[in-house]
Amino acid sequence: MTAAPSPSCDRVVELTTDQLRARLPEALRIYVTAMGYPPVTAQQRAPMWSAHMLRAGWRCIGAFNEDDELTGIGYGYLGAPGQWWHEQVRRGLQDTGGDPDAWLEDYFELTELHVHPSAQGAGLGEEILRRLLDGAPGDKVLLSTPEGPTRAWKLYQRVGFEDVLRNYSFTGDPRPFAVLGRPLPLNA
């Protein structure tokens, strides 16, 4: 059962690559605002997000308010060797004595999940997460999130994600991150 849309959300729908491309500047503004990154980060990330849309198993969910403005975004795809995030996590697991093969086989990488701060706290992130993972390919899902007691962290714990790698520093971001994972389907 999915949570009802928040009062600041009129609809939550699956987006095609063309639909996300048309809304990419809007989606990236939500990303930089929610993550606290400088606005210039959106320009740096646009080519990466566009390249992600071409990956196997890519799917995207968008949330819109009554004015048809994007208020939340989530997407992911099948993780695979050679992808930047996959290789970073593999290295982190190897460095800490973890078993990369236990997690990095047949997984859906939840790459981005962001809700504009003005729409947070009413279940919208969970609705996007559940819709994104409903029918997602792979037998497990992995994600990374900044360490700390955030709303995102609490959401992932609430829906059963477990620690895979903690206090990891990804190249290009000085903050410590946690890599979390769980089996799919979400409601199993």
Query: Measured between alpha carbons, how far is 26 from 128 in angstroms, rounded to an integer?
Result: 17
Candidates 9, 125, 145; CA nearest to 68 is 9
Least Cα distance to 169 among 76, 82, 95, 81 occurs for: 95
Backbone angles phi, psi at 108, to 5 degrees: -95, 125
Question: Where would I find the beta strands (DSSP E) of the chain?
Answer: 11-15, 59-64, 70-78, 107-115, 140-146, 162-168, 177-183
Cα separation, 74 vs 181, in Å, equals 16
Catalytic residues: 156
Nearest residue to 166 (alpha-carbon basis) of 111, 98, 102, 107: 98
Give the whole-angstrom CA distance, residue 182 versus residue 156: 10
